[in-house]
Amino acid sequence: MQFETLRACLRLGFVGVVGLAGCAGNGDGLDQSGRPATGGADAPLTADLKSIQDHVFTPICTQCHIDATAPLGFRLDEASAYAMLVNAPSAEVSSLHRVTPGDPDSSYLIQKLEGHAAVGGQMPLGQPPLPAATIAIIRQWITNGALATAAAVDVMPMQIHAVTPSADAPLVAAGAPILLQAAGELNAATVNDSSVVLTRSGGDGSFSEGNEVRVQPIHIEVRSLDPTVLAISLESGAWVADSYRLSISGHGDARVMDRDGLPAGDFTLQFSVGGTP
């Protein structure tokens, strides 16, 4: 069963997007040929993220692409998949996104699965390609706008969670962006360097000693609106080895609001760069 799960992971082609660090599992989510199952008679695979997540990403891809063991940090669990895919630059061809909403031909994921990407051969290498019907369903989801699961958007106050890095964990690399996802649509105009604050500890790992340093400027990229995905980064070389705290305010004069004008929930993420405490 583990061999069949490995073959299924390879058929998805994500090894060509970010690399593969090995797979294990019991084969759940596969049909008798070792291909991604399309669900039961009452739940066929359909062109929406929830269906793709339930029938492909969760039972098959998260055998590899989950938690700290995910290859190159590329996670496809339900809380991470949308932000990791939609408008996210590919690792092999940075000028292309893994998924470009409305444009499957320009989506690097599709190019790798169909075998005409600029880098490397058709994914999975040395294995039968993903069935055309499965690729067509993923294509249709992208054509339809690569929308997120609607059920995840109605939380009050709207919550924000970190996709990468995870709480109290180091960044994968000093140049990697901080990737955040809201539970719905934020008012992008309220996401700015007043409501989003990045602070480093000053070298002691503590944020209560009075020697903290506010890091400026920060670059805030809104990668999608509904749900809102934010990529926060610094200029090249601006990261230094230290502990950091990222805060997004849902109160006060400088606060992040949702699309309906209601304040979002306060958010704090503490992490380190360079192996510091």
pLDDT at 258 over 50: yes
Cα 27 from Cα 45, distance rounded (Å): 17
Cα 17 from Cα 28, distance rounded (Å): 23
User: Is the Cβ–Cβ distance between 207 and 217 less than 8 Å?
Assistant: no
Task: Give the per-residue pLDDT at 127.
Answer: 67
* H or E element in which residue 213 lies: strand 213-214
Residue 250, CA distances (Å) to 192, 195, 212, 215 in order? 12, 8, 22, 20
3-class DSSP state for residue 15?
A: helix
Mean pLDDT for the stretch of residues 218-231: 95
> In the structure, how many helices (H) and strands (E) does the chain have?
6, 8
pLDDT tens, position by position, 89-138: 988 888 999 999 999 999 988 887 788 888 877 765 566 777 887 788 88
pLDDT tens, position by position, 172-204: 566 788 999 999 999 999 999 999 999 999 999
Task: Put the strands of the sheet holding 160-164 in their side by side order.
Answer: 160-164, 178-182, 228-233, 219-225
pLDDT tens, position by position, 30-52: 454 444 444 443 468 788 899 88
Closest by CA to 68, choosing from 196, 211, 167, is 167
Cα 61 from Cα 165, distance rounded (Å): 20
Mean pLDDT for the stretch of residues 72-84: 85
Task: Give the per-residue pLDDT at 15.
Answer: 37
3-class DSSP state for residue 164?
A: strand
Ordered structural domains, the chain, with CATH: 2-143 (no CATH), 153-273 (2.60.40.1220)
**pTM recorded for the entire structure:** 0.60
Residue 218: band (very low, low, confident or very high) from pLDDT cuts 50, 70, 90: very high
84: left (phi over 0), alpha (psi -120 to 50) or beta: alpha
